[in-house]
Amino acid sequence: MDVTGSIDTKDPNDTNNEVRRIYKGLFGSTLFDKIDYVLTDIVKLFDGRYLGYQKCDTGYHDLEHTLQAYLAVARILDGLIRKNPTATSEEFFVLGLIAALGHDTGFIKETLDTEGRGGKYTRIHVDRSKEFMSKYLPKLKFNPLQIQYVENIISCTGLHIDPSSIHFTSVGEKEAGYILGTADLLGQMSDPNYLEKLPKLYEEFKDGNVLGYASVQDLIEKTPAFWNDSVMKRLTEDFNSVYRFAADHFEGENLYISGINRNIALIKECYSC
């Protein structure tokens, strides 16, 4: 079994139904309408139907990637609460999910931005995502402190950002940030189609002038070392190993880690890494 199971992470409704099921099992449905509203607007944004913005043109950081992170956040939070029912609040569950939906909005070009593709924002997309959400969330009547929470949670998705430098003001906010940072990595790297998507990631890196990879093959061949040396260090040391709570959601095997291990093994087999 892989992390998708019967869920189609290309389908916002199918993914959202699973997130709603998880949420309702924990809290009922009191605040989920706000999450639904944000999801609707994020889908419009990626589809080019949101006023002032173009359609998403990044092939790797697309709507499916956002939905994968969104689902992974729900699952890890669910596992955390199963392990410790008082570990987080409904407020931070909601804010974590909303941050997941908005964490890559920074790749979307504005209407008048006619130069290049959204991948050019790779280095600064986290800041652009925070800026988008800070302008968007007031219309849903989120207060300034809650908006700051969402911005800080999104900051954890920046691989260049040291979480200890983020000015968290609460334990729940920090936990949600660690979970989103973890879910962002687990969701993409466990994707059964991860290997075939890496050429699209390379194109985004080229657009964003991200150095370190000479070709698509170079990127693929360096992925096992990236997982073992960089990602696992970030998950364990920077994010306090919150990835382990996914196993509590799945009631046994951590399907995210299993999926990543399969992908890494496939890369090694195909490229003799």
Residue 4 lies in a domain: no
Residue 2 lies in a domain: no
Say what the pLDDT of residue 101 is. 98
For residue 17, which of 26, 27, 8 has the smallest C-alpha distance? 8
Residue 218 lies in a domain: yes
Say what the pLDDT of residue 3 is. 84
Residue 1 lies in a domain: no
Residue 3 lies in a domain: no
Q: What is the CATH number of the domain that holds 59?
A: 1.10.1300.10
Residue with tokens 């504005």: 110
Residue 202 lies in a domain: yes
How many domains is the chain built from?
1
Report residues of the chain scoring pLDDT below 50.
273
Say what the pLDDT of residue 272 is. 60
What confidence tens digit (pLDDT) does each residue in 12-48 have?
A: 999 999 999 999 999 998 889 999 999 999 999 999 9
Residue with tokens 């940072």: 181
Percent pLDDT > 90 in the chain is 94
Long-range contacts formed by 155-163: CB under 8 A, 24+ apart: 155/126, 155/130, 156/180, 156/181, 156/239, 157/103, 157/104, 157/126, 157/129, 157/181, 157/184, 158/126, 159/230, 159/234, 161/126, 162/238, 163/238, 163/239
Residue 135 lies in a domain: yes
Q: What is the largest CA-CA distance in the chain?
A: 53
Say what the pLDDT of residue 2 is. 77
- Give the integer Cα–Cα distance in Å for 71 and 75: 6
Residue 214 lies in a domain: yes
For residue 94, which of 172, 167, 158, 157 has the smallest C-alpha distance? 172
Say what the pLDDT of residue 108 is. 98
The whole domain housing 35 covers: 12-271
CA distances from 149 to 59, 84, 260, 265 (A): 29, 22, 30, 37
Say what the pLDDT of residue 273 is. 47
- Give the integer Cα–Cα distance in Å for 102 and 154: 8
